[in-house]
Amino acid sequence: MFESRLNVMKFAIALLAGPQDPAARSALSFAQAALDGGHQISRLFFYRDAVHLASDLAVQPQDESDIAREWREFISSNELDAVVCIAAALRRGVLNEAEASRWERPVANSGQPWVLSGLGQWVDAMQSADRAVTFGS
């Protein structure tokens, strides 16, 4: 009945580029297309400047798209595992409550649905996925 089910693939998707880079949009479109096509996303991994997407503080002009908000809504509505490299995040000032407290910073600017964790999560995702796709450089 659902023949396409036979071809369901598990994707691990990494994004390296920041919110201003077109790769941030391409990655989101790819991820949406993957789910629309009946595939699964086992993990999203945000590295290098892509960690800025996990900041809740960035404000976009009203007539421009808000890629960080779109990512956040996409991740939340599909209940995806979205891991942000903790080392890349800390050095760029993207901190959740736990890290803000640990490093004695006055504010936290990240939280659900993002998870701060290590590069090992990317390694693990690549090992278990059928396809690992990287966007940005």
Partner 1 sequence: MDLALAAAAFGVPVSLLFLDSGVMQLLKGQESALIKQKSLTANLKALPIFGVEDLFVCQHSLSERGLQSNQLLLPAKPVEGAEIAALLEQYDQVVTL
Please give the residue ranges that form the binding site for partner 1 (CB under 8 A).
16, 87, 118-120, 122-124, 126-127, 132, 134, 137
In the block, tokens 């979205």 appear at 82
Active-site option among 41, 67, 83, 85: 85
Radius of gyration (C-alpha) of the chain in whole angstroms: 15
Does the annotation count 4 as an active-site position?
no
Give 61 or 120: the residue with its C-beta nearer to partner 1: 120
Q: What is the DSSP letter of 21?
A: S
Q: How far is the CB of 16 from partner 1 (least distance, A)?
A: 8
Which of residues 114 and 122 has its CB atom nearest to partner 1 in the complex? Answer: 122
Active site (catalytic) residues: 85
